[in-house]
Structure 1
């Protein structure tokens, strides 16, 4: 099975982030424009990871508590100290983390720096592609069309 690094090589390392003072409305607008389900919250001066904000945070910590997205800063409702992974962590370990902690996004940290983010969709896509390759290899072996 592959590693987080394999996903990032295909997906890229681009991470969308905002500072904690950004309004929830502006964060949701950015997420909509970029078609993403989560944003990293950083201190842009130090580039330090402060938290993560996801659609689930929006639903549970803003809407259900009757807060206004235009009056609430993202830092008030973000998930602090999010679970992170390293590029050399296995996809299997990521799946276990996501399942056990019921999360859909994992920031990727290497050498103390944020280098990417993977989602459950990225993990599923990687596994499907890997399995497709295995099936094709087996079909070639069985039919004698291997090299």
Structure 2
């Protein structure tokens, strides 16, 4: 599946000259935590996040009056605090590639750019919906997660996992893995045709795998 089928097209944007206070208000009104920053021709210039705004806001420890704080924030523009040259993806990129990139790099959102111009944005929300579709969560299948799987030094490990599950008469519909950001190895996600994941988890645990609870 490609990102273009899951991204939010034509997202709300701001310019580098937009006041930070205005950007904050736009986020609050639209219940979003980030806004792409574009120029007059729709080319991506950066990304401003709620975290950027909070970090740039004066703290109570600075002992400024409300008037001074408002005056300071009124001068602050999006271009001053935005993330410049953010990581982007193409509409033609696969969902799985974007999931892996986001996981490895710790990125929660990607502007979607085509021919140098912003055409959409994909965030954790869109990725979550796509993954639910991939894993058939709406179909009543079971999802089992296995941790600390060594896929680099053990050839055929995924096939071995699938075979163990099918030994108990449960068909495996999909398997994918992500490198763990903490610890070692990979986290393997398995979708099985079973309404109850307990037998699958028990079989894998018996074989020595660490099944996430």
| Shorter-chain TM-score range | 0.7 to 0.9
**1:75 aligns to what?**
79
Deviation at 1:128, TM superposition (A): 1.5
Which aligned pairs between 1:1-147 and structure 2 lie closer than 5 A? 2-8=1-7, 12-44=8-40, 46-60=41-55, 62-63=56-57, 68-131=72-135, 132=137, 135=141, 138=193
- Higher strand proportion, which one? 2
Alignment size in residue pairs: 134
- Higher helix proportion, which one? 1
**2:205 aligns to what?**
none
The alignment's TM-score, normalised by the length of structure 2, stands at: 0.56
**1:25-52 CA-partner distances (Å, limit 9, x unpaired):** 10010011111111111111x2221100
| Mean CA deviation greater in 128-137 or 84-93 | 128-137
* Deviating 4+ runs (over 6 angstroms): 64-67
Change (3 A) 1:64 1:125: farther
Q: Highest CA radius of gyration, 1 or 2?
A: 2
Deviation at 1:99, TM superposition (A): 2.2
Q: Distance in 2 between matches of 1:81 and 1:29?
A: 24
SS of 2:101's partner is: helix
Deviation at 1:121, TM superposition (A): 1.8
SS of 2:121's partner is: strand
Q: Distance in 1 between matches of 2:119 and 2:43?
A: 12
The alignment's TM-score, normalised by the length of structure 1, stands at: 0.78
Coordinate RMSD, CA, aligned: 2.5
